Each structure stands twice: as C-alpha cells, then as structure tokens.
Amino acid sequence: MTTDDPKKIVVLISGRGSNLLAIVRAMEKEKWRARVVAVISSTPDANGLAIAAAAGISSETINVAHFPDRVSYDAALREAIDCYAPDLLLLAGFMRILTDEFVNHYAGRMINIHPSLLPAFTGTRTHQRALDAGVRVHGATVHFVTPQLDAGPVIAQAVVPVLPDDTEEMLAHRVLEQEHILYPRVVRWFVEDKVKMENGRAVLSTTINCPADFLLGVAS
C-alpha cells in the first residue's frame, strides 16, 4: 500500500454497536481517507451486525460458543482479521479478554474504548462502581491495547461529572454520549497519522490542540 491509500479498519464488536455507528457516521460526514473493511462479532445476535449491514460493510461472526478455549478462538479471530490486512483494529464493545499472542500481533494498531477514566475501574460494571466509590468525575478512555487488561497507553479521555441523583443508567447514558464523540475523534487522528505508540506511551502529533482535543467533556 502507498501512504495515499485509504486506511483499512476492522471493528470487533459483541453487542449494541453504537460506537461502531458513531465512527462510521463521522467517517462519512468528515470524509476521512479510511474505510471500515469488516465488522467481526463474537456472537451472532449482536445488534452491531445490523448496523454493519445497513452501512454496506461486510461482516462475519466468529462465535465464541464454537471454540473450546481462548487460544483457539483468538487464532481463528486473527486469521479472519488478517484476511483484510487492516491498518487499524478497533475494539468497540468487544467483550473478550484476548491472549497475549493476539495482542502482541496487533501492537500499536489495536485500540479500545473503555467506559471509565482509566486506570480507575478496569473490568466491568464501571458506572455502578464509580457511583459506589463516590467519585465526582467519571468518563471514558481510548487506549492502545496491551496484554494487561485495560492498562494500555491512554490516548484520550472524556470526563463526565457525577451528579448527586445519578443512577447507573443516567451516568452510563452521559458517558456513552461522550464515547460517541471521543472514539471517532481518536480514530480520525490515527487515520491522519497523528497518533502512535512509542516506548509504551501514546504519542500525539503536536498539531493536536492540547488539552481541549484530548480531554473532552469538561474541556469541550
């Protein structure tokens, strides 16, 4: 490929697909030099598969239920992904813990969105845990994926205030709204070669307006 070729993106999902939709919409509206070449789901009933179909994106399911263990699943997933030779692999609500071998294969070109201000609240049920902890701010993080769960270099974060009467649903809703701004913005940086992983850190181009461009929510 030449540097002028559109970047090829593969998106991995397990469910709703709202971040996938936000990325596809931003890509079309802002005319990025990029293309989602495939959506791959870990389960056949993910709503995100319908979003891919509506957008004319090819999709497939590598069903976790058909594999005896993590190693065989990740090997099949990797084979499916590599058919598309992606420049960027996006985890968008892909609810699987990946093997080190898989993660290392995509080092520097696999990113994830997580619904908390990492390193706080890794894992699941992040919104309820933020409420239980009594934190005043919560949010979402986009980071490079490395073998340790939810611990890769942070690229950008969106901050959301925690309000006195918040329920888990209310907080989740406000965080998700920010995810839909944050994730497309970071993917666009990648498409424009403005972000890379170097020596275990996310390095951003100096053309990115700091901090407003990478601290969304309170700053935007």
Among 7, 18, 88, 111, binds ligand GAR (CB under 6 A): 18
Contact between 15 and ligand GAR by CB under 6 A: the answer reads yes
Among 6, 8, 16, 215, binds ligand GAR (CB under 6 A): 16
Cα separation, 86 vs 46, in Å, equals 22
DSSP symbols for 101-160: HHHHHTTTSEEEEESSSTTSS-SS-HHHHHHHHT-SEEEEEEEE--SSTT-SPEEEEEEE
Nearer to ligand GAR, 50 or 83 (CB): 50
Nearer to ligand GAR, 64 or 206 (CB): 64
Q: Tell me which of 114, 127, 138, 180 is the catalytic residue.
A: 114
Smallest gap, in angstroms, from Cβ of residue 107 to ligand GAR? 19
Residues 6+ apart with CB under 8 A from 164: none
Cα separation, 203 vs 196, in Å, equals 5
The total number of residues written for the chain in this structure: 220
Instruction: Verify whether residue 114 is a known catalytic residue.
Output: yes
With beta carbons less than 8 A apart as the criterion, state whether 127 and 168 touch: yes
- Within 160-179, the residues that bind ligand GAR by CB under 6 A are 176, 179
Smallest gap, in angstroms, from Cβ of residue 206 to ligand GAR? 28
- Binding region for ligand GAR (CB under 6 A): 13, 15-19, 48, 92-93, 113-115, 140, 176, 179
Q: Which residues are catalytic?
A: 114
